[in-house]
């Protein structure tokens, strides 16, 4: 499992990704609770969550840029922007000029690039990692993000309660700054000379054509869109509302609720990292998603905090068993020349998350959380089964490239 750390680039990327994910989670929890408490509105909360991913339509273009100038350069620029925006929030909080409207504006700006971070870090891993170590490296990458979510959820809630928002954001700014410095030590990644003879629009079109002509990639992108649309809103953006209005707990309780999902995801990531190349990616991503949605169906109906936290932990575990293989499948099927563009297309699937969050606000006001969550989880379960059925020839046979790691 520790084989990827023999690669110099990964020894810099791993702590850089860890610090970025830690800061992401702290920001999401602190600002989500701030918006909900200041406005008292689930519509404002879902708007905040959705606007953080508004820029997902830029993900393919960021992928094109990464293929042209290198993944390290793009990732460093993104992380420098995170530090700058966090410093703006810290300054506004200290001067008393921060309000919910300002938070939404900054969420829009950050949302232009932040959705591409996971795709770029995975593409950087694939570009610098020997093929036999790729599954283990992706598993460690997800472990990094999930462990940071646990720590970020708990420290974010604790710091905000202890020091206040302004001082908490000074810590977040420092985390982003250190992540940027460590990212400078990664790579370098290869550039593709042929790209200079093309245009960004043609590159973008070629990337989408490559996905459309590769059944396993099309299935993976479809599943990625689905889970962002109907699964992640329940275990992410809506958790502040669930904490306050369903379970009646405070910001510290929200931290533990969020950490339970992340802890389960961490265990799942560790398992994927240990099992490595023995995972049949095509099968695993479908089966994992089916169990994930079944758990969310039960979570949707429970009013017990202890049972809810247990179900979130199990959901996080199955999320990792589904999405880690999905990422590996896409990285292997994409090939070197298309990797940035394909991962950009995959990140475009995150656009399902703001759609799901925007729809959840009025649905919860009309139907209540339990019925809305049941609708989301039930739809996801049926749609996942359909994805597995439609692309069964690309995903299910043991000898299929999606399950062997070979390119079709």
Q: Which of 28-37, 104-113, 286-295 has the highest mean pLDDT?
A: 286-295
215 in any annotated domain = yes
CB 119 within 8 A of CB 331: no
User: With b meaning 16 or more CB within 10 Å and e meaning fewer, what string describes 13-37?
Assistant: bbebbbbbbbbbbbbbbbbbbbbbe
Does residue 169 sit within a domain?
yes
Q: Check residue 133 and report its DSSP letter.
A: G
Backbone angles phi, psi at 400, to 5 degrees: -65, 145
Query: Given this model, what pLDDT does residue 101 score?
Result: 92
> CB–CB of 385/264 below 8 Å?
no
Structure tokens that stand for 376 in this block: 């989301």
Distance separating alpha carbons of residues 293 and 291, to the nearest angstrom:
5
Residue 198, domain CATH: 1.20.1250.20
Tokens of 18: 């860890």
Question: Which phi and psi angles does 398 have, rounded to 5°?
Answer: -60, -35
382 has pLDDT over 90: yes
Q: How many CA atoms are closer than 13 Å to the CA of 30, on its beta-carbon side?
A: 32
Inside any domain, residue 377: yes
pLDDT tens, residue by residue, 152-185 = 888 887 888 788 888 999 999 999 999 999 999 8
Which tokens sit at 366? 């009309």
Mean pLDDT of the chain: 84
Quick check: 197 pLDDT over 50?
Answer: no
Of 2-6, 53-57, 96-100, 262-266, which range is least confident? Answer: 53-57
229 contacts: CB under 8 Å, gap ≥ 6: 352, 353, 355, 356, 380
**What is the per-residue pLDDT for 195?**
47
Is 2 among the domain residues? no
Does some domain include residue 1?
no
Q: How far apart are CA 402 and CA 326, in angstroms?
A: 9
Residue 384 has pLDDT above 90, yes or no: yes
What's the pLDDT tens digit per position in 69-86? 777 888 899 999 999 999
What count of residues does the chain have? 408
> How many domains does one find in the chain?
1
The confidence score (pLDDT) of residue 196 equals: 47
Is the separation of the CB atoms in 280 and 135 below 8 Å? no
Residue 232 lies inside a defined structural domain of this protein: yes
The answer to whether residue 337 sits within a structural domain is yes
Kindly state whether residue 271 falls inside one of the protein's structural domains: yes
Give the span between the Cα atoms of 161 and 288, in whole angstroms: 36
H-assigned helices in 96-214:
100-111, 117-128, 134-163, 165-183, 200-212
3-class SS letters over 35-63:
HHHHHCCHHHHHHHHHHCCHHHHHHHHHH
First vs last C-alpha separation in the chain? 27
Range of the domain at 84: 7-404
3-state helix, strand, coil in the chain (%, to 5): 85, 0, 15
Q: What is the pLDDT of residue 213?
A: 79
Contacts of 141 (CB under 8 A, 6+ apart): 14, 17, 121, 122, 125
Q: For position 126, what pLDDT does the model report?
A: 80
């Amino acid at each position: 499992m520790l084989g990827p750390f023999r690669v110099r680039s990964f020894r810099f990327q791993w702590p850089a990704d860890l610090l970025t994910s830690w800061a992401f989670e702290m920001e999401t929890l602190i600002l989500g609770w701030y918006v909900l408490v200041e406005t008292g509105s689930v519509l404002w909360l879902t708007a905040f969550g959705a606007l953080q991913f508004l820029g997902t339509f830029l993900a393919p273009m960021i992928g094109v840029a990464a293929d042209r100038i290198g993944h390290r350069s793009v990732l460093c620029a993104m992380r420098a922007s995170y530090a700058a925006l966090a410093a703006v929030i810290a300054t506004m909080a200290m001067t008393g000029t921060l309000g919910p409207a300002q938070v939404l504006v900054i969420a829009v700006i950050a949302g232009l690039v932040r959705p591409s971070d996971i795709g770029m870090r995975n593409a950087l891993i694939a570009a610098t990692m020997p093929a036999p170590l790729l599954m283990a490296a992706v598993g460690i990458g997800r472990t990094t993000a999930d462990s940071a979510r646990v720590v970020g959820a708990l420290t974010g809630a604790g710091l905000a309660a202890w020091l206040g928002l302004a001082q908490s954001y000074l810590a977040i700014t420092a985390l982003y700054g250190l992540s940027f410095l460590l990212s400078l030590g990664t790579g370098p990644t290869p550039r593709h000379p042929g790209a200079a003879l093309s245009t960004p629009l043609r590159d973008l079109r070629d990337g989408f054509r490559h996905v459309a002509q590769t059944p396993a990639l099309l299935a993976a992108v479809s599943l990625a869109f689905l889970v962002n649309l109907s699964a992640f809103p329940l275990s992410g953006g809506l958790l502040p509302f669930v904490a306050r209005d369903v379970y009646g707990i405070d910001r510290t309780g929200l931290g533990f609720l969020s950490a339970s999902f992340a802890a389960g995801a961490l265990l799942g990531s560790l398992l994927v990292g240990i099992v490595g190349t023995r995972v049949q990616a095509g099968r695993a991503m479908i089966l994992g998603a089916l169990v994930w949605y079944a758990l969310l169906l039960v979570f949707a109906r429970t009013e017990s905090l202890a049972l809810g936290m247990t179900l979130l932990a199990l959901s996080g575990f199955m999320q990792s068993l589904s999405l880690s293989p999905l990422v590996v499948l896409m990285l292997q099927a994409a090939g070197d020349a298309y990797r940035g563009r394909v991962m950009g297309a995959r990140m475009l699937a995150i656009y399902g998350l703001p759609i799901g969050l925007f729809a959840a606000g009025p649905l919860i006001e009309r139907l209540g959380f339990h019925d809305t969550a049941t609708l989301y989880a039930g739809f996801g379960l049926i749609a996942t089964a359909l994805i597995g059925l439609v692309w069964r020839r690309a995903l299910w046979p043991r000898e299929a490239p999606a399950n062997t790691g070979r390119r079709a």
